[in-house]
């Protein structure tokens, strides 16, 4: 799916949900090189304020990117910026729902600002705001052969 700047308006939203698995956490640790024991060592994690392992915050935040790139604005969009506030932990087995909602559209600059939220069982775990550049329409062919 692809939305161009003239197809976006405040209030439009899109969501997706993903259950965070053990494999997701281990693979994210490898790709990111973040091997903090709070994510991968249950015995250590039991001694923390969370009382057990938690998923990487950026793993859950990456689900926002999936909604933006796959649904709205969609194929070909470019991330310009993202703010994030981590409000609560995500644990292995939790289902994270990422939702983006159009807040502002600037047609002249081809920029859209969206509110971004991740929830687990209705509780906000991440909130923020991003700026995107939607894909630009291909120019119509000119001339004849």
pLDDT exceeding 70 applies to what percent of the chain?
95
Domain residues of the chain, as ranges?
5-133
The per-residue pLDDT for 140 is: 66
Q: Which residues pair with 106 in a beta bridge?
A: 111
**pLDDT tens, residue by residue, 55-64:** 999 999 999 9
- Topology of domain 5-133 in CATH is Thiol Ester Dehydrase; Chain A (3.10.129)
Mean pLDDT, the chain, whole residue set: 95
pTM of this structure:
0.91
Whether residue 26 is predicted with pLDDT greater than 70 in this model: the reply is yes
**pLDDT tens, residue by residue, 125-145:** 999 999 999 998 876 666 655
The per-residue pLDDT for 12 is: 98
């Amino acid at each position: 799916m692809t939305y161009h700047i003239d197809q976006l308006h405040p209030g439009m939203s899109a969501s997706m949900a993903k259950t965070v698995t053990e494999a997701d956490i281990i693979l994210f640790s490898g790709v990111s090189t973040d091997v903090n024991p709070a994510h991968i060592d249950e015995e250590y994690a039991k001694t923390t304020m969370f009382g057990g392992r938690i998923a990487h915050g950026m793993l859950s935040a990456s689900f926002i990117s999936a909604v933006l790139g796959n649904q709205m604005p969609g194929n070909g969009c470019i991330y310009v910026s993202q703010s994030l506030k981590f409000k609560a932990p995500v644990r292995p087995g939790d289902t994270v729902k990422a939702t983006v909602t159009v807040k502002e559209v600037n047609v002249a600059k081809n920029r859209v600002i969206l509110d971004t939220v991740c929830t687990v069982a209705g509780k906000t775990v991440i909130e923020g705001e991003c700026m995107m550049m939607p894909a630009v329409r291909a120019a119509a062919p000119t001339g004849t052969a």
